[in-house]
Amino acid sequence: DAGVIQSPRHEVTEMGQEVTLRCKPISGHNSLFWYRQTMMRGLELLIYFNNNVPIDDSGMPEDRFSAKMPNASFSTLKIQPSEPRDSAVYFCASGQGNGELFFGEGSRLTVL
């Protein structure tokens, strides 16, 4: 049974470049969440979707960040342009609306 699948697992890019992180949630889950994890701030919620519709994007740092969920099996988190302070591990998680979340392995982003 496949869990949440994220890609890439690691990305190193230069400041100013566009970064796209991808997520495939668990089949049948109707909620999808993007979190960012850093040493300083811990796990922060960026945005979440219910039934492919963005519900709360108040955690998105600024306009450089955008997220889409074109269908129930795919979501992207895009950063354009990227900055060194965006370096973090980005997690995607999915759930069935009852609270419990299943996390992917994360995408470690390094912006030089």
Partner 1 sequence: GESVGLHLPTLSVQEGDNSIINCAYSNSASDYFIWYKQESGKGPQFIIDIRSNMDKRQGQRVTVLLNKTVKHLSLQIAATQPGDSAVYFCAEHLQAGTALIFGKGTTLSVSS
Q: Applying CB under 8 A, which residues contact partner 1?
A: 4, 31, 33, 35, 42-43, 45, 48, 50, 55-56, 91, 93, 97-106
Tell whether the torsion through CA atoms of 34, 29, 73 and 55 is positive or negative. Answer: negative
CB of residue 18 to partner 1, shortest distance in Å: 24
Paired sense of beta strands 107-111 and 10-13, if any:
parallel
Look at the block and give the residue holding tokens 């496949």: 2
CB of residue 69 to partner 1, shortest distance in Å: 14
Nearer to partner 1, 42 or 70 (CB): 42
Q: Which residues are 88's β-sheet partners?
A: 109
CB of residue 16 to partner 1, shortest distance in Å: 28
Nearer to partner 1, 14 or 57 (CB): 57
CB 14 within 8 A of CB 100: no
